[in-house]
Amino acid sequence: MVEVRRVLVLGGTAEARELAARLGGEPAVHVISSLAGRVRDPRLPDGEVRIGGFGGADGLAAWLRAERIDEVVDATHPFAAAMTANAVRACALAGLPLLVLRRPGWEPEPHWHLVDSLDEAAAALPGLGERIFLSTGRQGVHRFAHLDLRFLVRAVDPPEPPLPPRTELLLARGPFAFDDEVALLREHRIDVLVTKDSGGPMTRPKLDAARLLGVAVVLVRRPPEPPVPVVETVAAAVARLRHAG
């Protein structure tokens, strides 16, 4: 009888969905994907799915033990720092291996303004332009609420107030094509693009459109990676999990 390994994938990204699909085809692996539940209508991965929080690192550790999980893969968004920190501590408490799957970040370009937080991004804006395309997701928009600039905010779900006084909200889910991003920046006469270093090709077109149109870019750097093994591709994650098994 083949022993089945139980793998928890902390997901919410395209890489997490691809990993769940790849591992789902492995006869000796049972995958459970976990989503935080912050998006109203998330794209669900293949296989078993759990939605909602665990109650911090201690709650996650207890869940890992109760569900007899053998390995954990953190394939969350590069800016999900709190979830990653909880995963590191929970796996240490439960005595389980943790692998981080993180797509590589973008190579900075000379005209980009690199900052370490949304607060720093907000502080940089008054000297850069008047019409801001804020593409940082629904969380953290309140960091810009004190600025009397024109904001176009794009998110999957509406952000919670407070919002900047002059805000236009665009609810949309990517990926977005290059030509569409160019048209959007032109239509709204955008001066500055504010975004996070999410990395990968899916959200890259807005940066390429900004370069074409001479739009300034304020890019929020990623938080540091945790002191655990990190891979950049789904193929590398699958290979590492196979080797571990």
Could you say which residues of the chain have pLDDT below 70?
A: 1-2, 39, 245
pLDDT of residue 135: 96
- Quote the CA–CA distance of 97 and 80 in Å, as a whole number: 19
| The domain defined by 5-104+224-244 carries CATH number 3.40.50.720 | yes
Model pTM? 0.90
Give the single-character DSSP code of 243: H
CATH of 112-220, one of 1.20.140, 3.40.50, 3.30.40, 2.40.50: 3.40.50
pLDDT of residue 41: 75
**Domain spans of the chain, in order of start:** 5-104+224-244, 112-220
pLDDT of residue 243: 77
- Quote the CA–CA distance of 7 and 29 in Å, as a whole number: 7
pLDDT of residue 183: 98
148: exposed, middle or buried (Cβ count in 10 Å: 0-12, 13-18, 19+) = exposed
Q: 5-104+224-244 with 112-220: one CATH topology?
A: yes
Asked if residues 218 and 163 have their Cβ atoms less than 8 Å apart, the reply is: no
End-to-end Cα separation, the chain, in angstroms: 15
